[in-house]
Structure 1
């Protein structure tokens, strides 16, 4: 693999992170405007009628396209750690649009999370030598993931804590995005081998279902929360879920070894601490913005 190919992969990975950040910021802004929990058809219809929902879909589509291009030029060991850029880009961007400053706790949380995710993503990769999902495994992964996402969404809707509800929903969204990357890889391979018949393959049929559920789960995770914690959890669970599917069903093997496992455990704990610092409820964010405005007003000469 040439140096030019690796740099092209890095370029596409950065573009993917930028598109993903834009999509997440759009979904966060949408959560401010559509505040009702997404538990009924009326709320979902209201969501689908809002232009920001379709803006987020466009950016998510761009993210997926850039990600496919990135992994075609560079190995996962190079591409995956760059996923932490979504936090670097997203937290100040979201705060700026919300009319407030990023708090010191958020900066510390972002630093902890970025370092932890970078280390975790660097060791939670597979050797990349596996194949694709066969038909029975595609059915098992597709049905199992769909059931897991629906059960998690049902359970999260009954959690009284806004923060923990967001944690569950964003974790499920990350699982959806990670698993859909495996089903997309399978679909591309099957369609390339069999042509139009591949459109009826279970992996091809499961991909849009899982991906759409992921988008709705991510949207629901931002309700009542600022961008940092949900985005951090989604960024954490996405590659881990993809690696689990790769090892369990696609013939890949974990490349980290025992040392990598220990690093992954420490990184996960550090990321959990960072995500806790990033947990800024909507009301708190608005209070901080008002307080900043009051301080600026008081400091103006009379």
Structure 2
């Protein structure tokens, strides 16, 4: 091998095949955006036909009616494709590289929602979107050249499951006590947090299956993944009922990857080889992106306050 090429390879922790995960994640982001737009349309139509549920949560009858809405079903199928591409990207690359790339969906959704509903985004909303996407892509740009993919130990897996159990308990109690006062931003953030764990557990399960290590701990991961997915999906539908689709996507494409990234850094050690300056960039860019979500929730012309 050429000496210069060898030195370059040593500077890039990712194996060249792991870069395959990046285009797969970008394709998934496109399906995520389209799926969100169609699902939002279905939820709005169902809500218009029934009693107002703002802050109360969609009831069982409304959830059943969603299955009869072609737009909602089509959106669900597209989200299913988004998940397939996301899982494929996670198979090839570390979480902190590919998971944040879903931020592309925020740009696509914002443009689609503006055109479809004839709603002009104000300058503050545009600034918030730029903060979300800019922060995420800065994060990924650094992570792509500093992250390492490591096998997950049983101890790390138990830590993830325990933290998820606490999050699920907090979400359930908060929803039960304050459901009549809850607005879109709560649903968005909680769904993002839960899906961050879903992405992490999905990568873990894929890795353990590949290693032929399918035992009780892996099965527990699968059950936890399904539970978090179901609750996260319910929160997403309620977010659609009380806020615009680009706010929902902002939460899912910023909060979700930031949670997954924190798990990847703190628990899985994916940034263990990153220099100090890279960790500073991670913290600053992550804070910018998350703050952008709150600004979008506050300033979006379609947000119900």
TM-score bracket relative to the smaller structure: 0.7 to 0.9
Q: Could you state the TM-score of these two structures normalised by the residue count of structure 2?
A: 0.75
The offset of 1:249, in angstroms, is: 4.3
Give the 3 Å change call, closer, same or farther, for CA 14–50 of structure 1 in structure 2.
Answer: same
User: 1:96 Cα shift?
Assistant: 1.7
Instruction: Give the length in aligned residue pairs.
Output: 279
Q: Work out the CA distance in 2 between the residues paired with 1:59 and 1:238.
A: 18
- For residues 142 and 105 of structure 1, do their structure 2 counterparts lie closer, same or farther at Cα, with a shift above 3 Å needed? closer
Shift in Å at residue 239 of structure 1? 1.7
What root-mean-square deviation, in Å, do the aligned CA atoms of Structure 1 and Structure 2 show? 3.4
Equivalent residue for 1:146, pick from 150, 164, 168:
168
SS in 2 for 1:267: helix
Q: Following the alignment from structure 1 to structure 2, what is the Cα–Cα distance between the partners of residues 142 and 273?
A: 23
Structure 2 alignment gaps of length 5 or more: 1-13
For residues 220 and 126 of structure 1, what CA distance do their matches in structure 2 show? 35
Alignment CA distance shift 1:208-1:56 (3 Å): farther
Alignment of structure 1 residues 49-198 onto 2, 5 Å: 49-74=68-93, 76=95, 78-122=97-141, 127-133=148-154, 136-137=158-159, 139-154=161-176, 157-159=179-181, 165-193=183-211
Task: Describe the SS at the equivalent of 1:222.
Answer: helix
**Residues 146-193 of structure 1: CA distance to partner in whole angstroms, max 9, x if unpaired?**
223323434562436xxxx22221111111111011222232334445
TM-score (norm 1): 0.75
Distance 1:123 1:221, change over 3 A: farther
Which has the higher relative contact order, 1 or 2, with Cα contacts under 8 A spaced 6 or more apart? 2
Correspondence for 1:292:
none
Q: 1:290 — aligned with what?
A: none
Residue 258 of structure 1, CA deviation: 4.8
1:282 matched to 2:302? The reply is: yes
Retained in 2: the 8 A contact 1:12–1:69? yes
Q: Is the 8 A contact 2:97 2:140 kept in 1?
A: no
- Structure-2 residue corresponding to 1:299: none
Structure 1 unmatched ranges of 5 or more: 285-302
Matched residue SS, 1:159 = coil
